Amino acid sequence: MKSSLDINLPEELEPYHEAIANSIKPYLKIDIKPNSTQWWESKFGGLPYLPRTIDYPTNKNGEYLKLLAQLNFSEMPRLENFPAQGILQFYIDANHDIYGLDYDDQTNQDGFRIIYFDLIVENVNNLVTDFDFLEEHQGTTFYSPIEGEFSLSFIHSYAPIYWLDGAFDQHFPNFNRDFLDIYDEWYCQCLLIDESVHQVGGNPYFIQGDPRYFYPEHEDYILLLQIDSDYDDEIHNICWGDVGIGNFFIKPSQLKVLDFSQVLYNWGCH
pLDDT per position as a tens digit, 93-132 = 998 889 999 999 999 999 999 999 999 999 999 999 999 9
Where in 81-148 does DSSP place strands (E)?
87-92, 112-117
Confirm whether 240 is domain-assigned.
yes
Q: Closest Cα to residue 162, out of 228, 70, 251?
A: 228
Confirm whether 53 is domain-assigned.
yes
Residue type, 232: D
Residue type, 38: Q
Q: Which residues pair with 127 in a beta bridge?
A: 51
pLDDT grade, residue 8 (50/70/90)?
Answer: confident
Q: How many domains does the chain have?
A: 1
Percent of the chain with pLDDT over 90: 72
CATH assignment of the domain containing 231: 2.30.320.10
Is 60 exceeded by the pLDDT of residue 1? Answer: no
Q: Could you tell me the residue range of the domain that residue 83 belongs to?
A: 11-268
Residues 101 and 264: their CA atoms lie apart, in Å, by 10
The residue-averaged pLDDT of 185-210 equals 85
Distances (CA, A) of 119 to 38, 70, 267: 16, 14, 30
Confirm whether 2 is domain-assigned.
no
DSSP letter (8 states) at residue 18: H
Q: pLDDT at position 2, please?
A: 45
Is 80 exceeded by the pLDDT of residue 88? Answer: yes
Q: pLDDT at position 144, please?
A: 87
Q: pLDDT at position 234, please?
A: 60
Residue 119 contacts by C-beta under 8 Å, 6 or more apart in sequence?
A: 86
Residues 202 and 159: their CA atoms lie apart, in Å, by 7
Confirm whether 3 is domain-assigned.
no
Residue type, 258: L
Confirm whether 1 is domain-assigned.
no
Confirm whether 182 is domain-assigned.
yes
- Overall pTM > 0.85: yes
Confirm whether 211 is domain-assigned.
yes
Residues 86 and 146: their CA atoms lie apart, in Å, by 23
Distances (CA, A) of 123 to 9, 51, 116, 130, 131: 52, 10, 18, 15, 17
Which region among 82-91, 116-125, 145-154, 169-178 has the lowest average model confidence (pLDDT)? 169-178
Distances (CA, A) of 67 to 47, 146, 148, 185, 261: 7, 9, 11, 35, 17
Is 50 exceeded by the pLDDT of residue 58? Answer: yes
Confirm whether 141 is domain-assigned.
yes
